[in-house]
Amino acid sequence: MATLYRADGTSEGLDAPEGGITLAELQRLVGGDIEVIRLGRPHPKEVLIVNENGRRLRLPLNETATRLYRGTPARHQGVIVGDAVHARIYDPGTKRERVV
């Protein structure tokens, strides 16, 4: 299960179809080319998927995704802009990691 956190403060759970969420779907959700950001400790298998050109496009600040990115205690000073997908890297069939 993944969650879409919109810059307007709303969110939506995303059910991954068999085989995971496609690149095209991720691009649609974030509004352009994607960038995958690993959240790191204490959540090494969690990622944020964001618009790679969000800052250049001057997308609005995403406060929820920024809090996830920074962590508690804060590990980063950066911010996340635009809509972001929060997901866990997981593949139940092969036990290899992949984005769902």
Report the pLDDT value the prediction gives residue 21, as an integer from 0 to 100.
Answer: 85
Give burial (CB, 10 Å; 0-12/13-18/19+) of 50: buried
Residues of the chain with pLDDT under 50: none
Amino acid in position 70: R
Q: pTM to 2 decimals?
A: 0.84
Tens digit of pLDDT for each residue in 31-40?
Answer: 999 999 988 7
State the residue range of the domain holding 26: 2-88
Tens digit of pLDDT for each residue in 66-81?
Answer: 999 998 777 878 899 9
Residue for token pair 């690993």: 38
Q: Is residue 93 part of a domain?
A: no
Evaluate the CA torsion angle 43, 49, 53, 56 in order and state its sign.
negative
Q: Is residue 42 part of a domain?
A: yes
Q: How many domains is the chain partitioned into structurally?
A: 1
Report the pLDDT value the prediction gives residue 43, as an integer from 0 to 100.
Answer: 67
Q: Is residue 95 part of a domain?
A: no
Q: Is residue 97 part of a domain?
A: no
